[in-house]
């Protein structure tokens, strides 16, 4: 009887910790944003991984993020707005694909391309 109790408690603990562990994993997944991964996935058709327009991007006259003047004359809000709204016939809107945290997380990526 005593032994059975221990087994029951032990397996109960096992289930509890397995559930806790599983929830921990899914929570961490939801909270984690990898901005560079988002950039490569959604932006790199037109803006390359160094912030320059790709060949395809050049045809559409994509912005060169390494341009100091452009960086100096834009604001973080404008960058977020561009990602959300895009430019008709040039860049699509990402409102449906990215949430506002993800859009904000892309700002430092865009800012990181400027030549020092």
Distance of CA 16 to the CA centre of its chain: 32
Q: How far is the CB of 26 from ligand HEC (least distance, A)?
A: 25
Distance CA 8, CA 5 (A): 5
Q: 83-112: which residues touch ligand HEC (CB under 6 A)? A: 83, 87, 90-91, 94, 106, 110
User: Which residues, in sequence order, are bridge partners of residue 53?
Assistant: 47
Distance of CA 113 to the CA centre of its chain: 16
Q: 38-67: which residues touch ligand HEC (CB under 6 A)? A: 42-43, 45-47, 57, 60-63
Contact stretch for ligand HEC (CB under 6 A) within 1-9, 10-18, 25-33, 73-81 = 73-81
């Amino acid at each position: 009887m005593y032994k059975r109790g221990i087994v029951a408690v032990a397996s109960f603990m096992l289930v509890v910790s397995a559930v806790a562990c599983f929830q921990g994993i899914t929570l961490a997944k939801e909270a984690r944003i990898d901005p560079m991964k988002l950039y490569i996935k959604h932006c790199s058709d037109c803006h390359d991984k160094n912030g320059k327009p790709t060949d395809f991007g050049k045809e559409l006259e994509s912005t060169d993020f390494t341009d100091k003047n452009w960086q100096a004359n834009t604001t973080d809000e404008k960058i977020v707005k561009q990602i959300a709204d895009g430019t008709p016939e040039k860049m699509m809107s990402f409102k449906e694909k990215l949430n506002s945290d993800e859009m904000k997380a892309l700002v430092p990526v865009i800012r990181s391309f400027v030549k020092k």
